Structure 1
């Protein structure tokens, strides 16, 4: 089994740190598409960092950016949370695949990539650009530390376990971020 090392910086500009995670997601997605890679290990590392990242953004980054920037409003933050819920739902489907050498797994990877790339592009344009332009450097650094601390706490708590992802997806349904189970299809 290959171990994918999840970087754990302790400081930095929050915009740069989020972008670094986005590039890590893309790298791990490539690993999950590679039939010669340890796809199960890549999937677990991806799940861990993806959930830790999203939870840290929602608890520490989005609320502060809504207060600090004109370009990031409640709508952008809420939309980001809805997209995180969709990503977590796609992640759950990916994690529930028994094997990593099946068409079902390949389809789940493709679906995950579609929702993830949509979110990354939108977040970089509508949230990170205003943050870069409107939030002073020292505040972005302080926000980076808060983001990284929360991200590490989620990583330490097993953020990417299938039980945790199931819980997060269930909560998203209950909060109305995802359609109720009987509304799907």
Structure 2
């Protein structure tokens, strides 16, 4: 049997390096699980979460029942006008801003935070049509496409809320589209 180089800390066996690596991986996994359990107890979390009757579980069960009984199909994430602007933005960013990325229909709740819970809830479900992020994943420019059906119902108020939150976070907004 061939003697393989000993792993760090000594030799486990004369098995192949793959077996030694597997043994090390299992040991590390067990250590990490132990640390996670200790940390969980220190934070006051129980090992298993029991079913707690109440509105939260009832709401979740109702959502699951509703979704289970419904049908779904795919749809486009953007209309044609938005997609045209998105494609042009992608080309520009790829050519001129290495490491930057372009995202579509991004929730403000994913890119902004506020210590004021009510302010956060006001923007959480609102989306920007197109978002350019820097190489660290932080938004640097929001693009809003105002299409044919944009100015319906409370769109001006929604836009004002989005623009103000983005402005306060230091993310400029560019608007354009059909007039």
**Category of TM-score, reference length = shorter chain:** under 0.3
Considering fraction of residues, name the structure with more strand.
2
What TM-score, normalized to structure 1? 0.20
TM-score normalized by the length of structure 2: 0.21
Where relative contact order (Cα < 8 A, 6+ residues apart) is larger, the structure is: 1
Question: Which of structures 1 and 2 has the bigger CA Rg?
Answer: 2
